[in-house]
Structure 1
Amino acid sequence: MQLATRDDLSDYLIAPDPGAVRLTRKVVGTDQNGAATKISVVEERPLTIYLNSQEIVTAMTIGDYPRYLALGFLRNQGMLKDGEIITGVDYDEEVETVVVRTNGKTTFEEKLKKKTRTSGCAVGTVFGDMMEGLEGLTLPPTPVRTSWLYALSAKINRTPSLYLEAGAIHGTVLCHQDRPLVYMEDVGRHNAVDKVAGWMLDEGATAEDKILYTTGRLTSEMVIKTALMGIPVLASRSGFTAWGVEIAQQVGLTLIGRMKGQRFVCLAGEDRLIRDADPALVEHEGRKSGRKGGEE
Structure 2
Amino acid sequence: MIIAPDASAPRLTRAVVGVDENGADITMPVIEERPLTIFLNGQEIVTAMTIGDYPEYLALGFLRNQRMLSADEDVLGVDYDEELETVVVRTATETNYEEKLSKKTRTSGCAVGTVFGDIMDGLDQVSLPQSKVQTSWLYELSKKINTTPSLYLEAGAVHATVLCQENRPLVYMEDVGRHNAVDKISGWMVSENITPEDKIMYTTGRLTSEMVIKTALMGIPVLVSRSGFTAWGVELANQVGLTLIGRMKGKRFMCLSGKERLIWDHAFDGDAK
TM-score by length of 1: 0.90
Give the CA deviation at 1:281: 5.8
CA RMSD of aligned residues (A): 1.0
- Aligned residues: percent identity? 73
| 1:163 alignment partner in structure 2 | 152
Whole-Å separation in 2 of the counterparts to 1:162 and 1:128: 33
Whole-Å separation in 2 of the counterparts to 1:157 and 1:248: 25
One-letter code aligned to 1:202 = S
Whole-Å separation in 1 of the counterparts to 2:162 and 2:125: 27
Instruction: Tell whether 2:26 aligns with 1:37.
Output: yes
Instruction: Tell whether 2:131 aligns with 1:121.
Output: no
| 1:197 alignment partner in structure 2 | 186
Whole-Å separation in 2 of the counterparts to 1:250 and 1:76: 18
Q: Which region of structure 1 is more displaced relative to structure 2, 102-111 or 13-22?
A: 102-111
> SS state of the match for residue 71, structure 1?
helix
| 2:212 alignment partner in structure 1 | 223
Name stretches of at least 5 consecutive residues in structure 2 with no aligned partner: none
| 1:46 alignment partner in structure 2 | 35
Name stretches of at least 5 consecutive residues in structure 1 with no aligned partner: 1-11, 283-296
Instruction: Tell whether 2:144 aligns with 1:138.
Output: no
> SS state of the match for residue 148, structure 1?
helix
Give the CA deviation at 1:117: 1.2
| 2:165 alignment partner in structure 1 | 176
Q: Report if the CA contact (8 A) 2:68-2:96 is conserved.
A: no
| 2:268 alignment partner in structure 1 | 279
Give the CA deviation at 1:110: 2.5
Give the CA deviation at 1:251: 0.3
| 2:51 alignment partner in structure 1 | 62
Q: Report if the CA contact (8 A) 1:26-1:41 is conserved.
A: yes
> SS state of the match for residue 244, structure 2?
strand
Runs of 4+ residues over 3 Å off in structure 1: none
> SS state of the match for residue 10, structure 2?
coil
Q: Report if the CA contact (8 A) 1:54-1:106 is conserved.
A: no
**C-alpha deviations, 1:7-66, integer Å up to 9, x for none?**
xxxxx0000000100000111111122221111110000000001111100000000000
Partner of residue 100 from structure 1, selected from 84, 89, 92: 89
Whole-Å separation in 2 of the counterparts to 1:137 and 1:186: 27
Give the CA deviation at 1:114: 1.4
Paired residues, number: 271
**C-alpha deviations, 1:90-123, integer Å up to 9, x for none?**
1100000000000111332221121111111111
**C-alpha deviations, 1:183-222, integer Å up to 9, x for none?**
0000000000000000000000010000000010100000
One-letter code aligned to 1:136 = Q
Partner of residue 26 from structure 1, selected from 15, 19, 23: 15
Q: Report if the CA contact (8 A) 2:215-2:223 is conserved.
A: yes
